[in-house]
Amino acid sequence: MPYCLVQADSVAPTADQLKRAFKSLKTLTEADAIKLAREACGILKKNLSLTDARVLQRALQVEGVPTDLLDATQLPKLPDAKFVRRVEIQPQALAIFDPLGRIVPLPWQHLTLVAAGTVRHFGVSATRTEVTVNTFDPFEVYGQKSSLTCGTKSKTTPSSCSTFF
* % of the chain residues with pLDDT over 70: 76
- Please indicate, yes or no, if residue 159 is contained in any of the structural domains: yes
Mean pLDDT taken over the chain: 79
Q: Which of 48, 43, 52 is nearest to 12 (CA)?
A: 43
| Helix axes of 15-22 and 50-62: crossing angle, nearest 10 degrees | 130
Domain containing 158: what range? 133-164
- Please indicate, yes or no, if residue 106 is contained in any of the structural domains: yes
Overall pTM surpassing 0.75 (yes/no): no
pLDDT at residue 110 greater than cutoff 50: yes
Is residue 59 domain-shared with residue 13, that is, in the same domain? yes
- Please indicate, yes or no, if residue 65 is contained in any of the structural domains: yes
Beta strands, E only, the chain: 3-7, 43-48, 67-71, 87-89, 93-97, 103-107, 133-134, 147-152, 158-164
Is residue 137 domain-shared with residue 97, that is, in the same domain? no
**How many domains in the chain?**
3
- Please indicate, yes or no, if residue 122 is contained in any of the structural domains: no
Is residue 67 domain-shared with residue 91, that is, in the same domain? no
- Please indicate, yes or no, if residue 121 is contained in any of the structural domains: no
- Please indicate, yes or no, if residue 146 is contained in any of the structural domains: yes
- Please indicate, yes or no, if residue 90 is contained in any of the structural domains: yes
- Please indicate, yes or no, if residue 149 is contained in any of the structural domains: yes
Domain boundary among 24, 48, 74: 74
Is residue 43 domain-shared with residue 99, that is, in the same domain? no
Is residue 111 domain-shared with residue 152, that is, in the same domain? no
Is residue 8 domain-shared with residue 68, that is, in the same domain? yes
CA distance 70 to 1: 11
Q: Which of 14, 60, 58 is nearest to 40 (CA)?
A: 14
Using 50, 70 and 90 to split pLDDT, how confident is the model at 126?
confident
